[in-house]
């Protein structure tokens, strides 16, 4: 990791400079404007489908609110397990160069949950439930740690592109733009950390792993892209927005060619990183 | 209302289709589907969506007991038999 200690040092400096108080930095309206957009229409999971085209503008805005709650909810669930994993990595043997930045990473992920949870509980009265489950298994040396950071990177790269688009979208209510921007500001550093760390860990581990472990890791990560995207198509959202046959709609929304093209476009930078660093050898099907 | 046989058949067909490689006759109601990686941990989210659609009920993942996805038998017992409902 010849350059990594310097990268970590610069990330720590930036985190200290950008340090924000989540309890005072957000301007929470008393109530949301029911005529507002809370997610960019083009990012809505059923955008372009006949079911979307049939909606009135008011119904589309209502859908955008629930899709925003879903987007923030899936972030909360991802960040909860991220915080658990980061805490386990703190001061672990071999992690002495990482721990200074891990403190900032942990701190910032907790702050994000304050923003996301604040929106969900204030305006929806809930966080959408998580359907992901983890099954305990045995890992090769270094495999669990590598997969943890690789999964975090995949998750955050997709989220960040949504954050960037929505933070600039003048159609969105100010609170939605502000949350997306605040998240993006920290995520930029998390992604720099992640991209540097994941390739270092893979090159270190893959040099000693048996071939079947490397293949298993590749298969798992390819599947993880798809599993991550599934959370963006939530039948609970469709139910709350008053859409019919929510499970049929979820399946149709996920599997149409336009949705696959959208996911491929959003994921292409991340996939290119995994291919260029030989972590994946072929493009995953998403 | 589906019969027990119809539900077990639906579970069987879903697992075979999702796996994509297993021969239908190789999958029994006792086959350990997670242990044998017939369904991966990443596919459990799809299984939960399918179960919700089949039962018409929402599943709270936090209340699920270990081993619940072990086989078609455990899926039926925990999600469809009223005496042992997981909900």
Residues 6 or more apart whose CB falls under 8 angstroms from that of A221 comprise A147, A150, A151, A154, A274, A279, A280, A284
Q: What is the pTM of this model?
A: 0.94
Q: Is A59 on the interface with B (CB under 8 A)?
A: no
Q: Is A139 on the interface with B (CB under 8 A)?
A: no
Q: How far is A7 from chain B (nearest CA, A)?
A: 33
Q: Would you kindly state where each structural domain of chain A is located, as residue ranges?
A: 4-23+33-128+137-276
Q: Count Cα atoms within 13 angstroms, Cβ side, for A36.
A: 20
pLDDT in tens, B51-76: 999 999 999 888 888 789 999 999 99
Q: Would you kindly state where each structural domain of chain B is located, as residue ranges?
A: 4-84
Q: Is B66 on the interface with A (CB under 8 A)?
A: no
CA distance B59 to A129: 9
Cβ–Cβ under 8 Å, residues A234 and A126: no
Reading chain A (286 residues) residue by residue, the pLDDT tens digits are: 468 889 999 999 999 999 989 998 899 999 999 999 999 999 999 999 999 999 999 999 999 999 999 999 999 999 999 999 999 889 988 888 888 999 999 999 999 999 999 999 999 999 999 999 888 899 999 999 999 999 999 999 999 999 999 999 999 999 999 999 999 999 999 999 999 999 999 999 999 999 999 999 999 999 999 999 999 999 999 999 999 999 999 999 999 999 999 999 999 999 999 999 999 999 999 9
CA distance A61 to A40: 10
CATH of domain A4-23+33-128+137-276: 1.10.620.20
Name the helix (H) or strand (E) containing A259: helix A257-276
Beta carbons of A230 and B41 less than 8 Å apart: no
> What is residue A35's DSSP assignment?
T
Contacts of B34 in chain A (CB under 8 A): 135
Reading chain B (87 residues) residue by residue, the pLDDT tens digits are: 789 999 999 999 999 999 999 999 999 999 999 999 999 999 999 999 999 999 999 998 888 887 899 999 999 999 998 665 666
Q: Which of A198-232 are b and which e, b meaning 16 or more Cβ less than 10 Å from the residue's Cβ?
A: bbbbbeebbeebeeebbebbbebbbbbbbbbbbbb
What are the distances in angstroms from CA A131 to CA A44, A115, B58? 20, 22, 10
Cβ–Cβ under 8 Å, residues A258 and A252: no
Q: Of 1.20.1070.10, 1.10.1200.10, 1.10.274.50, 3.40.50.720, which CATH number belongs to B4-84?
A: 1.10.1200.10
What is the torsion angle, in degrees rounded to the nearest 10, for the CA atoms of residue A144, residue A275, residue A47 and residue A36? 70
Contacts of B46 in chain A (CB under 8 A): 230
């Amino acid at each position: 990791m010849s350059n990594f200690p310097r990268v970590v040092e610069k990330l720590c400096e930036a985190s200290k400079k950008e340090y924000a108080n989540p309890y005072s930095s957000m301007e929470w309206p008393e109530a949301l404007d029911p005529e507002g957009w809370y997610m960019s229409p083009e990012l809505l999971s059923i955008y372009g489908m006949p079911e979307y085209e049939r909606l009135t503008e008011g119904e589309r805005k209502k859908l955008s609110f629930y899709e925003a709650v879903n987007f923030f909810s899936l972030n909360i669930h991802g960040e909860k397990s991220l915080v658990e994993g980061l805490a386990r990595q703190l001061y672990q043997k071999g992690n002495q160069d990482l721990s200074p930045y891990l403190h900032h990473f942990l701190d910032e992920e907790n702050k994000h949950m304050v923003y996301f949870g604040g929106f969900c509980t204030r305006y929806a009265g809930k966080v959408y439930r998580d359907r992901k489950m983890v099954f305990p298994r045995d890992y090769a040396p270094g495999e669990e740690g590598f997969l943890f950071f690789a999964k975090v990177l995949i998750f955050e790269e997709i989220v960040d592109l949504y954050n960037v688009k929505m933070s600039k979208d003048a159609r969105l209510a100010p609170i939605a733009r502000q949350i997306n921007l605040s998240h993006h500001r920290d995520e930029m550093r998390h992604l720099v950390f992640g991209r540097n760390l994941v390739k270092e860990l893979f090159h270190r581990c893959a040099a000693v792993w048996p071939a079947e472990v490397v293949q298993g890791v590749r298969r798992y990560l390819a599947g993880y892209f798809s599993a991550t995207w599934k959370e963006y198509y939530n039948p609970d959202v469709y139910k709350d927005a008053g859409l019919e046959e929510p499970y049929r709609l979820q399946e149709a929304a996920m599997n149409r060619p336009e949705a696959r093209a959208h996911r491929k476009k959003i994921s292409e930078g991340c996939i290119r990183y995994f291919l260029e660093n030989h972590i994946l050898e072929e493009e995953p099907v998403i | 209302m589906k019969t027990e046989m119809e539900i077990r058949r639906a579970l069987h067909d879903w697992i075979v289709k999702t796996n994509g490689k297993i021969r239908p006759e190789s999958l029994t109601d006792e086959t350990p589907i997670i242990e044998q990686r017939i369904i991966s941990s990443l596919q459990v989210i799809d299984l939960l969506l399918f179960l919700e659609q089949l039962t018409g009920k929402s599943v709270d993942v936090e209340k699920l007991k270990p081993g619940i996805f072990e086989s078609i038998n455990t899926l039926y017992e925990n999600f469809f038999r009223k005496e042992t409902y997981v909900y």
